[in-house]
């Protein structure tokens, strides 16, 4: 049972909180002054402490500092009528989980904060052993740990991003300038809003408060960029002209920009003079949430370890903004609860997003450990060879690689799950455009060529001499054919794939046939169901999400078509679909 200690000099308030929390499975204790609170913390070792900030003699901040020093695993929630961004930041920097301002509108806010604090405590306990093994890690690892704790905690987004920037300024590449900013996409998907900035000049904050995607000529920016791109960014000696915006270009192209700038220093806008702009999109493959802008001393060369650190920070920021987006969707779903189908869809979508947040943290920890092995352990082993230790370390590195591979696979599963959920919900706004299906086939063949070559498979297209214009959404048709061809490649080791396109009555008919393993007859009726994979009954079990074919079915069904599979179980498979011509 979770033990909670409430410390407040308002006796009536402590009783109200106790009564509200006793409805849950908590063991509640009360202290009505700070001194008694410290005594009970030592005696009870509670899981959670809820304390007022302003109390005579021993304040809530005194309790916070001493508790975090002597009992670092206890989570502390501040309640105060004197809150605000500044006090919240100070409390969080001292180790508080979060804060709630009184008077309470409803106790559910405090209950939610407690619930999240319990989750964080559980996660920290699970990772305590790992943290102890890495106490001597490089300074960047420690910064990642601090940022991860901010990510897990609950607070206003502006507060959270400001704390992250204050942590980030201690990275070696920012020690000279200590200048950085985070821009976030809010309501308009084509606008960046400056959400938090560290030591940015007032003129820049006014000028860059709102930035359009591609605010300057993208072609001009990329025309001037050249150099080493092996680490994921582009180096340049070019000077950008006044008014060009790297942040907008990076967001528009979803590409990091690493540019030497002296265009602004002539106006004394940046106190650092000539400097480097490093702009990294905060994004997934399908959506840009914002950008991280770093101002780095001119001539500074970011090494591979620092590059990995920056990628980890951006990955965490992506998880934070995804989480915020998921919360907005959940609130929207609650407000229209009468629309049961949409509510179900949004809840499932939120669950998937919630899974991605801890997954991001897990992958970040993997990257941190690999960074430590590369930077610290292997150099020591090179100087003091030990065959047994080297073998164990290599096993750890291989295990981390497996964790990352499986983490990426889970990410793909979540992406497919989210896509399928949206398709099933019926709330998507489908585009209607004139599409040439022959062009769709050619695009997919071009995209799949490298994968085909890796497996030494052939691909033949047999297209009837006819007009194949159809009304629909081009992107969904590409997804449909890509999933079918990708499925065929996955289960084919020798031979190849044939795509046929013809007209059958008033329907467009497409077939994707392979020379692979074939599908057992008893699986043909289940193959388009979620999480059903032919690999489950095969010895080699090719890995996939089990959602590609259900997505195909949803797309074809939307266009009032039919899709089916044929196979004798031994001599390959043929997937066919028809869509009415409009």
Q: Which of 463, 474, 393, 400 is nearest to 433 (CA)?
A: 474
Average pLDDT over residues 122-138: 63
Is it the case that residue 538 has pLDDT exceeding 60? Answer: no
Which percentage of the chain shows pLDDT scores above 90? 26
Residue 46 CA to residue 29 CA, distance in Å, equals 9
The secondary structure of residue 71, as a DSSP letter, is -
Mean pLDDT value across the chain: 80
Q: Which of 71, 66, 17 is nearest to 44 (CA)?
A: 71
Residue whose pair of structure tokens reads 């989210």 in the numeric block: 418
pLDDT of 228 reads: 41
**383 falls in which pLDDT band (50, 70, 90)?**
confident
Give yes or no for a contact between 143 and 171, defined as CB atoms under 8 angstroms apart: yes
Q: Which of 283, 79, 299 is nearest to 177 (CA)?
A: 299
Please give the model's pTM, rounded to 2 decimal places: 0.37
The pLDDT tens digits of the residues spanning 402-427 come to 888 777 767 766 776 777 777 766 66
Token couple for 110: 């405090």
The pLDDT tens digits of the residues spanning 226-273 come to 334 334 444 343 444 434 578 888 888 888 888 877 644 434 445 456
Give yes or no for a contact between 289 and 161, defined as CB atoms under 8 angstroms apart: no
Q: Which of 445, 450, 518, 454 is nearest to 481 (CA)?
A: 445
Q: Which of 361, 373, 279 is nearest to 319 (CA)?
A: 361
22-36, 300-314, 337-351, 438-452: lowest mean pLDDT where?
Answer: 337-351
Domains and CATH numbers, the chain: 2-133 (3.40.50.2300), 138-153+307-427 (no CATH), 177-299 (3.30.450), 433-580 (3.30.565.10)
Residue 481 CA to residue 462 CA, distance in Å, equals 15
Radius of gyration from C-alpha coordinates of the chain: 28
Is it the case that residue 456 has pLDDT exceeding 90? Answer: yes
pLDDT of 339 reads: 60
Average pLDDT over residues 527-550: 64
């Amino acid at each position: 049972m979770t033990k909670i200690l409430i410390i407040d000099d308002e006796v009536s308030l402590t009783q109200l909180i106790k009564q509200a929390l006793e409805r849950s499975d908590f063991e509640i204790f009360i202290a009505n002054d700070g001194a008694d609170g410290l005594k009970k913390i030592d005696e009870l070792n509670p899981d959670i402490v809820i304390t007022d900030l302003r109390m005579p003699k021993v304040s809530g901040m005194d309790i916070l500092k001493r508790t975090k020093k002597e009992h670092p695993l206890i989570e502390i929630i501040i309640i105060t009528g004197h809150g605000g961004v500044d006090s919240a930041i100070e409390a969080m920097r001292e180790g508080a989980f979060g804060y709630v301002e009184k008077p309470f509108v409803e106790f559910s806010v405090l209950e939610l904060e407690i619930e999240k604090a319990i989750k964080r405590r559980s996660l920290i306990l699970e990772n305590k052993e790992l943290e102890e093994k890495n106490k001597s890690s490089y300074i960047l690892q420690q910064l990642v740990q601090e940022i991860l704790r901010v990510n897990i905690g609950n607070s206003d987004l502006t507060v959270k991003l400001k704390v992250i920037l204050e942590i980030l300024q201690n990275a070696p590449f920012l020690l000279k300038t200590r200048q950085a900013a985070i821009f976030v996409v809010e309501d308009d998907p084509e606008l960046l809003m400056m959400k938090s900035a560290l030591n940015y000049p007032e003129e820049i904050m006014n000028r860059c408060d709102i930035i359009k995607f591609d605010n300057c000529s993208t072609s001009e920016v990329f025309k001037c960029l050249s150099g080493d791109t092996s680490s994921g960014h582009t180096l340049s000696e070019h000077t950008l002209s006044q008014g060009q915006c790297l942040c907008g270009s990076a967001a528009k192209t979803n590409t990091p920009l690493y540019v030497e700038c002296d265009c602004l220093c002539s106006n004394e806008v940046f106190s650092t003079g000539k400097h480097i702009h490093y702009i990294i999109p905060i994004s997934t493959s399908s959506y840009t949430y914002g950008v991280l802008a770093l101002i780095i001393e001119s001539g500074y060369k970011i090494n591979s370890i620092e590059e990995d650190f920056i990628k980890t920070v951006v990955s965490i920021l992506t998880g934070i903004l995804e989480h915020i987006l998921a919360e907005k969707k959940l609130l929207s779903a609650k407000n229209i609860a009468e629309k049961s189908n949409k509510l179900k869809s949004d809840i499932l979508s939120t669950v998937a997003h919630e899974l991605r947040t801890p997954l991001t943290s897990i992958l970040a920890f993997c990257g941190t450990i690999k960074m430590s092995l590369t930077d610290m352990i292997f150099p020591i082993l090179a100087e003091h060879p030990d065959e047994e230790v080297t073998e164990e370390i290599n096993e750890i590195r291989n295990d981390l690689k497996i964790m990352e591979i499986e983490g990426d696979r889970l990410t793909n599963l979540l992406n497919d799950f989210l896509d399928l959920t949206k398709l099933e919900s019926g709330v998507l706004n489908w585009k209607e455009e004139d599409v040439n299906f022959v062009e769709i086939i050619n695009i997919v063949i071009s995209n799949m060529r490298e994968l085909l070559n890796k497996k030494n498979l052939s691909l033949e297209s047999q297209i009837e001499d006819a007009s194949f214009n159809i009304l629909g959404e081009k992107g969904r048709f590409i997804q449909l054919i890509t999933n079918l061809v990708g499925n065929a490649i996955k289960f084919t080791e020798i031979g190849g794939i044939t795509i046929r396109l013809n007209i059958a009555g008033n329907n467009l008919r497409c077939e994707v046939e392979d020379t692979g393993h074939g599908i057992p007859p008893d699986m043909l009726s289940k193959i388009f169901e979620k999480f059903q994979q032919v690999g489950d009954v095969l010895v080699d079990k090719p890995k996939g999400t089990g959602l590609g074919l259900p997505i195909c079915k949803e797309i074809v069904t939307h266009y009032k078509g039919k899709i089916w599979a044929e196979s004798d179980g031994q001599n390959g498979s043929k997937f066919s679909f028809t869509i009415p011509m409009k």
